[in-house]
Structure 1
Amino acid sequence: MDLSFARLRRRVGLAAALLGLAPALLAAPICVIDDAQREVCLQAPAQRIASLSPGATELVFAAGGGERVVAVVAFSDYPPAARALPSVGSHSRLDLERLLSLQPDLAIVWGSGNSAEQIDALEDFGVPVFYLEPENPEGIAQAIERLARLSDSQAVGRQAAEHFRRGMAELAEQYRDAEPVTVFYQVWNKPLMTVNDAHLIGQVIRLCGGRNVFAELPRQIPRIDIEAVLAANPQAILAGGMGEENRYWLTEWRAYPGLQAVQQDNLFFIPPSLVQRPTPRLLEGSRLLCESLETARARR
């Protein structure tokens, strides 16, 4: 074979090989803005996701990336498939050694819940970090869409986000002109804690035609005392509890028969995971909350 021809063939072969690699080499990174307003870029869709709060876990699954989750934290109990995944501690204290051994290529973190020091450590080890902290219903829908982009499941994420948006819009329309009901929402018992109107739960109360008696307090989750609740005298008391079926917080309010909410039996239990996690299940929790306030209206 002519030597010059052989060289030419090798060059052509090399060029063809490089052209074959070109799409992968030139593929644009996947970039999204997280809730800390940082641009997070991946060279390819995430394949091994560490979800470091129960709410983040629900959102990743809703976005269609559940099969890519390799690590969760305590209380990541929904959907049921999440319970079988390896746990790497709690949202406030991670087992970093165990987490890193699972080789995540993306960590979904809770900015106000996860340890800032441990988040920094993850980044030091080269793990891309996506901050997630939806502050309103639209933020939940957008979180689903962004997570779907990072996990290459846009069709699933788009459908889930639109279903959530549509459901919340329908509730807003249904209760737009509802007669107001004054409401106390109990987040915790000892110390006694509630929400203001900036909190996601406060927004849902307002959507349902409720008037949060502690709407104007400066902190999103303020501590109060029983005397403040008695002085506000709400027409309805809503509470979660230390579990999905634990209603004893409401029972304790029956010791105060002078309260309007007690007199009219407007003590309503809302499973905490439905309203205290910023996830698509907020739609279900919002429906329950709206129905509770509608019952209170009927009991006047």
Structure 2
Amino acid sequence: MKVITWRLLCMMLLLLAISCQKQSPENRDKYVVLSPETAEIIAALGSAEDVIGITRECDYPETLKGKELVGDFGAINMEKVISLAPKIVFTSGLEQEAISLDLQKLGIEVYRSYPRTVAEMLQEILHIGRLIGKESEAEDLKQELESSITTIKNSAAGKSRPGVYLEIYRDPLMSVADNSFVGELIELSGGNNVFDRLERDYARVKAEAVIRAAPDMMICYSRDTKDNIVTRKGWDRIPAIKNRHIYFEEDIHPDLIQRAGPRCVEGMRALAALYEEWRADTQ
């Protein structure tokens, strides 16, 4: 019975999609974007006006504000997406794997983008540029970002590198691996990620492991406070805690280093500035 109901629902959704496409020919070159990284890339390529639907997390730049909301990153309103009759739906990985498959089953073109490295992000810019007819702009943006990244990386050459612990969750403790996008930015900007190897890009870590790693600097995105952090058992031995090199969202916004998009260069500059502050205090 459940299988029949699901099949009927799929048929109804497909009929709705066909109906909307007939009623809305102006949307044939428009896009629904479920990934904030991809939304930023499309906007940077000058096609924000072609985006007709976004998730709540697609909050940058200003040119995306006022677009039709189709849900949250992990809770997409599929009927709303279909009703917009987009040419392409841009999705991400993780929680959006299922919605990507469901939309494809209904005959809707889906492009999944989930870059895990800087190199992959740069290639994604080119792929997305081709899909939306912005090949030249994409090549220009890629070259501009490559140049900026190289400049930041070279400026850190020969300088002392602080050990960096980035906390993305408090209970349980979670951090980032070197082979994650965030971990790579930490390294390229002139730091050393203290958890170079984890079982996943973003994984649990033990408090004892943080103490043993003895980071020089802590970036806290776990919504904890400095007062609480300094009183964690045994953490008073950690250089970052002893020397108060603890930084929060107001010091470096997480979107600048957690989103694999054009603003990662801003994030790298912010990281490099924090490293310089550490060098000035410790050398």
Unaligned 5+ runs, structure 1: 1-44, 243-247
TM normalised by structure 1 equals 0.78
1:254 alignment partner in structure 2: 230
The structure richer in helix per residue is: 2
2:126 aligned partner, one-letter code: E
Identity over the aligned pairs, expressed in percent? Answer: 26
1:185 matched to 2:161: no
Deviations 1:92-127 (CA, angstroms, capped at 9, x unpaired): 22111111000011011102230x332122112221
Distance 1:284 1:238 in 2: 16
SS of corresponding position for 2:164:
strand
What is the aligned residue count? Answer: 250
User: Deviation at 1:251?
Assistant: 4.4
- 1:263 and 2:263 correspond: no
Q: Does 1:88 align with 2:70?
A: yes
CA contact (8 A) 2:100 2:112 kept: no
Q: Does 1:214 align with 2:195?
A: yes
Where does structure 2 lack aligned partners over 5 or more consecutive residues?
1-26
Work out which of the residue numbers 36, 61, 65 in structure 2 matches 1:79.
Answer: 61
Given residue 80 of structure 2, which amino acid in structure 1 is its aligned partner?
A: R
Q: What residue identity is the alignment partner of 1:283?
A: V
Q: Distance in 1 between matches of 2:51 and 2:222?
A: 29
1:207-244 Cα offsets, whole Å, 9 max, x none, are: 123222211222211112323222222111112355xx
Counterpart of 2:183 in structure 1 is: 202
Counterpart-to-counterpart distance in 1, 2:127 and 2:76: 24
Give the corresponding residue for 1:24: none
Alpha-carbon distance in structure 1 between the residues aligned to 2:227 and 2:167: 13
What TM-score do you get using the length of structure 2 for normalisation?
A: 0.82
Aligned equivalent of 2:12: none
SS in 2 for 1:113: helix
User: What letter is aligned with 1:252?
Assistant: N
Report the Cα offset of residue 281 of structure 1: 0.5
Displacement, 1:147?
1.2
How big is the shift at 1:48?
Answer: 1.2
Question: Does the CA-based 8 Å contact 1:185-1:194 persist in structure 2?
Answer: yes
**2:31 pairs with 1:52:** no
Deviates more, 1:128-137 or 1:251-260: 251-260
In structure 2, C-alpha distance between the alignment counterparts of 1:252 and 1:178, rounded to whole Å: 32
8 A Cα contact 1:148 1:156, kept in partner: yes
CA contact (8 A) 1:46 1:68 kept: no
1:159 aligns with one of 131, 140, 155: 140
3-state SS of 1:222 partner: strand
Q: Which of these two proteins has the greater Rg computed from alpha carbons?
A: 1
Please point out which of 232, 238, 243 is paired with 2:213: 232
